[in-house]
Structure 1
Amino acid sequence: MKEEAAVKPKFPTRDAEGRIQSMIEFLASTLLATGFTFALLAGIDLLFAGFSTDEFGGINGWMCVVLAAFLFVDDFKAWAGTRFRVPVFIAAVLLATVTGLGVNVALPDTWLPLIAGGLAGMASVIIYVVLWFTGIRLIGRED
């Protein structure tokens, strides 16, 4: 019996080591994943709001970054053996989180947590992709 090779995703394009090759594709895929998760969260929140006394929009929008985080971890693993991989990752995560928190604080308190958290999550995703993609290529070197 023949063993089948693991199916590799076609988007975003990757090199032989599994590293994402284009920042535009990385941004597009993570923003699509974040938008999809946001829509899913909104649907779940709407469903629960219809069957309970809760109001729509009370769910935390920060959860919309979950699928994007899987892409981040996948690319992080593809850079195994690269110098400064962990410090670049930590710096990107910290700066992205601070940016997201800043966006969340800057938004009016009257906005729904779903919307405010979703926008903060989107900002975090964008900052992380830019910092990780450029940082690992500028600072990271093969051991």
Structure 2
Amino acid sequence: MSGAQQQQQQATFPRRDAEGRIRTLGDLLGVSLAGLVIGVLALLLFEGVFVSLGDGRFGDTNGWLAVILPLWLFWDDFRAWEFGAPRVLAALVGLALGVLSGLLAAGLAAGLPALFTGALAAAVLTVVYAVVWFHGVRWLDRRTG
């Protein structure tokens, strides 16, 4: 990699290593939570448009949809790791714990509109998955490498 390419890669956010993996947990959380906020804002916009057209009530959209952009980021980081058991195991454990934690959060917020319970669940899934994935894949990679 040339010096200019390396400098450009270091100037991007999230910061990535030479293999394209996100370097810090803060970067992973920051970008994934920013994506989540964008997803929630998009859902609110769609809700507003549909309600103004007389198609449904506000809050009926499933808030879990807000997790689309964070999942895209997680998939991109997953692909940056070389194929093997560490990345698959860390992803599966992170996904299982994230979904279970998200479902628990949604259950605790029962009674709120689906948009808000789903968005809360998506936020919990995002944070839990990011932490488990980031630390898990690195720990497993050191143990097997």
TM-score, scaled relative to structure 1: 0.89
1:128 maps to what in 2? 129
Correspondence 1:139 to 2:140: yes
2:64 maps to what in 1? 62
C-alpha separation in 2, matches of 1:15 and 1:84: 18
CA displacement at 1:83 relative to structure 2: 4.0
Shift of the 43–79 alpha-carbon distance from structure 1 to 2, 3 Å rule, reads: same
CA displacement at 1:82 relative to structure 2: 4.5
Give the share of equivalent positions with the same residue, in percent: 31
User: Helix, strand or coil: the match of 2:100?
Assistant: helix
Q: Which runs of 5+ in 1 are unaligned?
A: none
C-alpha separation in 1, matches of 2:55 and 2:87: 47
Superimposed CA distance per residue, residues 124-143 of structure 1 (whole angstroms, 9 cap, x where no aligned partner) = 00000000000011112476
Which amino acid letter does the alignment assign opposite residue 33 of structure 1?
A: G
Match of 2:25 among 12, 16, 23: 23
1:108 maps to what in 2? 110
Total equivalences in the alignment: 137
TM-score, scaled relative to structure 2: 0.88
CA displacement at 1:53 relative to structure 2: 4.0
Q: CA RMSD in A?
A: 1.8
Q: Which runs of 5+ in 2 are unaligned?
A: none
